Structure 1
């Protein structure tokens, strides 16, 4: 669409009123026509000026709005507005020439001079394209003429120092591409292609797009910039572009810049590699009906960002009135009929030209067909933005007229001040500080219904353009994609790294191309495409998939859920019961010779201490606590010390029994129960003192060992003072060693029951078990360390019990004839 200037008749000198004047419309053949140059597929690549009905719709919208304003007695009373319309044809030179022509007036162009004889230049509408609008705005800013664009989106125009008189009824590319980049991120498209025009608009938009994509972690797989090139160069460009798109794994393509015949050429040539691609583009491309008409199959499934519709009156009846039969002098309308319906016009030379170019015969038409019947005309495009542009300028002019009255002719170039201060229906400024009209956006999904029509359906909308917040809402279930089963397309350089793994960048410039590796031990990632894995807490450990931390397993020797603990509990109970039965046997036969000969008090004490030693195993089972840690070592140390003290007393009494039988032996004074009881009490008291000192300085306590194993926590007892612990064990070992040495020395004494030999074997078993236990104890962790200690307790206690008492039980129960004093004496004599 071209540029439009509005003129009003000069003020009267007496009453300051406008005098009616007709709307000024330049002859279409004398000006740049409302054509958009497109290279039409199927015409051997020949560029042809193709008049597009939607642009004619914008022209009619401006006429409708100005007619409404001129008829409204409350708006600009006593003033009639007219207009000149020019088409820039998206060419900077034509745009600049048109601006200078309008400023100079009719006749020869004279920069900085105006040759107008009537009408006051008020302001300008347009242009639609950013490339031409920037140059127009630079010139108009010098003369302080107000300009309102309805399609230019370049953010360069936001600079109010350079373009103070420029306004637009659309938002800049900053908002558009920020939302588009968020849309790509929402669908997980991190690997995209870009098709852009190679001009100022395309360069600016691709730079802005790349900036936002980088912020969102999205990479550009390729960027094809379309240049206006000659045919031979263009063919090479087509080949390179086809190969680039074909090899790339990017399934999403973004359109940027300005749509032109050269971009249409490229899309037409590479369409066979684009059918499975999903296109994303902004409002300017979305409003281009040429795309919908000629590339509907390729663009189906696309997502577009479009401006939200502004309220406009129903103009259909006004549009319907534009028929060739009603407007025979409208040469633009005649061109549209000629090209779209092959209707012959009044200019024979033009008819021959189009018949030759399009290779078709023209025919006479009735001229009654309405322009609204064209499918491309039915698309509103930027109609509402054009309408709002006209009314915003006129309302500002009305406010200025009411405010400054007679000063209006001199202040007409300061109209931009009043446009800047226009208020919306809500009382806010209509145009923001940067001159933009900020509204919401619609997210549309293009769908090809059949070979001749394309349907657009709204699938989302923007909530805000604040870049610090989520800026859109989208209904994914309403989108129709090109893929099978209507799945969301995937456009990634690499497959997603599943939870439990992290991304490792590949060598190259693209951060979106990476490999996936499993998280290290003790680390997890609970989201896809995680760049770093997270360390679990000290009491947690990754699950098998490494996508979440689970509580570490507590490791201790349980007597309820652990087979090893159940075995130890069973053996401890059985051995305790056996010891109790032996004690009952000895108590029931305490008057027999064999029980009396072995000091029944020591035997009873030894059996009780062994039985309690078996029971103290239960302190080692179950989850350790401070009290159980305290009791397990103390009970074990004291009970074993009592047992070994009894064995030591027995050993000493065996020695004394034979030495005291000699006449006049001094050992007779030591032979008796008091001496043996004194040995037990003395030896046990020393161990009690060691334990008291240990508990006083640093008692055992429960601790959690989180460092020995990565996947479990060892609940164990810390011995507190290592010196105290090993002092207890060392003292027991000392007593056992003394007992073993003494028993070994008297093992050959002529005793029928050979008590010394049994004690020797029992102490040999005891010492062997505990000597073997120490390295095993130190080399294990957790419940197995406890199991080693329990095994040592059970085996050493069972060894003492078996070696000392089972032979006696055998004689008491099965060989009672040997359980007599006579048998004992006979054996000794022998």
Structure 2
């Protein structure tokens, strides 16, 4: 209060340079409704309007500072950090806010070291050891400083910190120019302020003379002086004081400038009747623009949070200097990364992670009992992909697709089938063609020696027809090789079924003829041979074959095999196969062949001991045993074989049974015809 009633009395306190002081003052003058505007009290507790209705401040709450530090860690993807905090409410609250802001953002705290002023030496050593032992570094250690020490001249000039503090990023109280302030400071002179003790002491230090006790030459001026006192580039706390005074002035101006001439209104006053409650009311409404063009107003106790982002950089002379690299305005961060000097000395942003990020093609597996930032990278399995860094899971490809070798994308599965270019396809083709060629050669031999007893005695016509059917059996296996199509799927099974029935029918009729011939030799059985003449033999073969043709026609008309992709088989290749839409049709084809083969085997077995130097029934018995064994083994092999090997199994069964028939029946005959012609006589054949 001023005793001079002619002076304006403004009931407002500008000060409280700490949160503790602000709390005490606010509680003390709250009954008087006296407003307090603080420039440095940053405790978040002072934002509580219910407890501190008369408190204002021009420095942001510490909550926003911790938020800004958390945003920097998130921006630079520093997922593995350590914290050195003051062991008081200020430090613990800052850490709490930091953790809250980074929760779920992939940021983990490796260590927390509280430091107390009372035990600073012990705590400092402990902090240094913890930092040294921490794994929270990959490309060096990078410090983020709070505003409490980011602009500390004492720390910046500390030579011992040069090695570890270079590159520090800091959140600092924002700085700004105060219009006219530099001119005011530089125009100060002791002669104009003879009672200003501070100015006299500064004058002595700067110019070495005392304007009062020691005469100066009068040319001394602060306009040419470069010192912290005249440096206007770092007006931080000073600018907060300026804003506090500016807010009080505008509130007072608003209070005294009511358009209503009735000064009794509660919101207006005369210069000599200003009350704290009135000024408090107008401070709550301050909403102005400063000479710098900055919008300014209180939101409760607080103003719009603004900070500077600073960087400790090495100057050419080796010292540290403070460089402005960005600003925080509300919840927006503007940062010029190209101007940052990192602690590593590199232009690349330092990396700090517990585990290097999992590349696409792998997934993160959290280590049990450890922080979520520490994990293992596990490669995706076959048929699975991950196309993002640090993916938590691998996604399975659709059935028509498979994972590429890097497990980063799904690619169409390659269609796989038994091709003529495959090693297996080439082998089977060679065996099949060789069988057809050998059968043709046997046919030529029999045709050339068709008038010899060996050929004539073994039912010449059926032998030629058998050789023709065997050749068809060998050739029909080639239809199974190559890309399946609608017509190849239908033709291959029909060709297989009809060719083998024709072959087995010839053997069955030959066996029946042998039995009939020997039966007719008994008294009273002469008429039996009439039922097995040449016409009847050809008719029987035709009848047996016609039944198979009918089965195939009905099957292929009702539910034929169709080309189909077997998506059930896992792998980069998908089998293109002829799917059996009707298992019954295929079973009837095989069953009919099996019925004829078993009948032929039974009859041949009964005729095996008939008297003859060259009993063909024995050869048929052996051939049918091989035939039946092959096809009995075929069924389980066919069912259990994967992919294109199903087709290979069927081709193998066709070729094996065809070679068995060819060798067992015709090899002994060709041996005699070509190598033992002396046995190719009627006398030898009828020896018994």
Note whether the superposition's TM-score is higher than 0.5: yes
- C-alpha distance in 2 between matches for 1:317 and 1:639: 114
Aligned ranges for residues 164-313 of structure 1 at < 5 Å? 164-229=53-118, 233-251=119-137, 277-283=141-147, 285-294=149-158, 297=162, 298-306=164-172, 312-313=178-179
Match of 1:77 in 2: none
1:427 to 1:491, Cα distance in 2 relative to 1, 3 A: closer
Deviations 1:93-121 (A, max 9, x none): xxxxxxxxxxxx379xxxxxxx9884221
Match of 1:827 in 2: 685
- Is the alpha carbon distance of 1:396 and 1:119 closer, same or farther for their aligned partners in structure 2, counting shifts above 3 Å? closer
Distance verdict in 2 for CA 1:124–1:593, change over 3 Å: farther
Q: Deviations over 1:300-337 (max 9, x none)?
A: 21122356665653643333224567655333345667
How many residues were matched structurally? 669
Q: Separation in 1 of the partners of 2:190 and 2:476?
A: 113
Say if 1:307 and 1:439, in contact at 8 Å, map to a contact too. no
Residues 198 and 225, structure 1, Cα contact 8 Å, conserved in 2: yes
Asked if the contact 1:441–1:461 (Cα under 8 Å) also holds between the matched residues in 2, the reply is yes
Comparing 411-420 with 278-287, which one deviates more in the overlay?
411-420
The equivalent residue for 2:197 is 331
CA distance in 2, matches of 1:800, 1:430: 105
1:293, 1:452 within 8 Å by CA — same for their partners in 2? no
Find the aligned partners of 1:370 and 1:556 in 2 and give their Cα distance: 92
Residue in structure 1 matching 2:234, options 380, 400, 407: 380
Secondary structure (helix, strand or coil) at the match of 1:278 reads coil
1:391 and 2:246 correspond: yes
1:660-699 → structure 2 map (5 Å cutoff): 660=520, 665-691=526-552, 699=560
CA apart distance, 1:758 = 3.3
The whole-number CA distance in structure 2 between the counterparts of 1:760 and 1:446 is 100
Contact 1:167 1:431 in 2 (8 A): no
1:403 aligns with 2:272: no
Q: Shift of the alpha carbon at 1:744?
A: 3.4
Q: How does 1:396-795 map to 2 (within 5 A)?
A: 396-404=251-259, 406=263, 407-409=268-270, 413-419=277-283, 420=285, 422=287, 430-431=296-297, 433-434=299-300, 436-438=302-304, 443-449=309-315, 453-459=319-325, 465=331, 472=333, 474=335, 476-483=337-344, 485=346, 488-497=349-358, 499=360, 500-507=362-369, 510-515=371-376, 523-541=384-402, 546=407, 552=413, 554-560=415-421, 562-580=422-440, 582=442, 598-599=458-459, 601-624=461-484, 628-660=488-520, 665-691=526-552, 699-706=560-567, 708-709=569-570, 713-749=574-610, 754-795=615-656
CA deviation digits over 1:704-743, x for unaligned, max 9?
A: 5555546654444443444544443333223222222322
Tell me, in whole angstroms, the C-alpha distance in 2 between the residues paired with 1:716 and 1:787: 12
TM-score, normalising length from structure 2?
A: 0.80
Q: 1:241 to 1:622 in 2, by over 3 A?
A: same
Quick check: 2:355–2:374 contact (8 Å CA) kept in 1?
A: yes
Q: Could you tell me whether the CA contact under 8 Å between 2:450 and 2:456 is conserved in 1?
A: yes
Q: CA deviation at 1:183?
A: 1.8
In structure 2, C-alpha distance between the alignment counterparts of 1:739 and 1:545, rounded to whole Å:
58
Contact 1:501 1:524 (8 Å CA) reproduced: no
Provide the aligned C-alpha RMSD in A.
4.5
SS in 2 for 1:216: coil
Unaligned regions of 5+ residues in structure 2, if any? Answer: none
Say whether the 8 Å CA contact 1:503–1:530 is kept in structure 2: no
Task: Report deviation, 1:422.
Answer: 1.6
TM-score, normalised to structure 1, is: 0.68
Whether the aligned pair in 1 keeps the contact of 2:326 and 2:336 (CA below 8 Å) is: yes
Deviation at 1:280, TM superposition (A): 0.7
* Equivalent-residue separation in structure 2 for 1:495 and 1:198 (angstroms): 32
Aligned residue number for residue 96 of structure 1: none
Residues 280 and 303 in structure 1, CA contact (< 8 A), matched pair in contact too: yes
Say whether the 8 Å CA contact 2:64–2:305 is kept in structure 1.
Answer: no
Q: Is the 8 A contact 1:181 1:216 kept in 2?
A: no
Cα distance in 2 between the residues matched to 1:136 and 1:626: 95
Distance in 2, matches of 1:511 and 1:223, equals 17
Residues in 2 aligned to 1:705 and 1:337: alpha-carbon distance in whole angstroms = 96
Tell me by how many angstroms 1:670 deviates. Answer: 0.8
SS in 2 for 1:790: helix
